[in-house]
Amino acid sequence: GLGTETLSKMCKGEIVGLKGPLGRGFIVEDYTKSVLVIAGGIGIAPIPFFIYRSKYKKLDVVWGVKRREELFDLNRFNQDIGDRYRLFMATEDCSYGFCGTALERLKNIPLEDYDIILAVGPQPMLKGICEYIRNTNLEAYVALETMVKCGIGLCGSCFIRASNKLLCIDGPVFRCDEVIQHLGKTNNSKNI
């Protein structure tokens, strides 16, 4: 976008102003809770850091990818995180772990073992998760992605029609009930 283009034209020594952090991430401060994290594809990227700094009673991860080749070094992942969690793998081509999607893997896990679900990945997966747990007592949060131009709520490029909120200020993490009616309707990055 315009911001990246402007940064690419800057010269060494020029001053750049930064403001942040803005928005709302996965912050669940009640450490007596049991948490299930669901990641689709590259949605796994922020999860190791989240797990590393968490102190939850129980924290497990479901990670789904299309094929085994999309998995990064699982030994490194396990080494970085330690033995404080369980990792449930799913591949759509059945080449590793559970045969199916992350959502299908979720449907084979007893939800009564958890208090909170945190999910990040493609919108259709997030919508499926929100619909699946809709009639449970689980708290459920999803991390949305879209193009964010200004990052401070001025331009409106990340306006979420379904909730009249801005991804850069009010998100990127939302409760399922805040955004479910819009999830999965579009794959473009304009106005989630």
The string of pLDDT tens digits covering residues 7-41 is 899 999 999 888 777 788 887 677 788 899 999 99
pLDDT for 191 equals 45
- Dmax (CA) for the chain in angstroms is 55
Does residue 133 sit within a domain?
yes
DSSP 135: T
Does residue 89 sit within a domain?
yes
**In terms of residue numbers, what domain contains 112?**
22-179
pLDDT for 82 equals 62
Does residue 12 sit within a domain?
no
Within 10 angstroms of residue 34's Cβ, the number of other Cβ atoms is 14
Does residue 5 sit within a domain?
no
Domain of 61, CATH number, reads 3.40.50.80
pLDDT for 188 equals 44
pLDDT for 45 equals 84
The string of pLDDT tens digits covering residues 171-180 is 999 999 888 8
| Low pLDDT (below 50) residues in the chain | 186-191
pLDDT for 7 equals 87
pLDDT for 154 equals 86
Does residue 139 sit within a domain?
yes
Distance CA 57, CA 72 (A): 27
φ/ψ of 131, rounded to 5, equals -70, -40
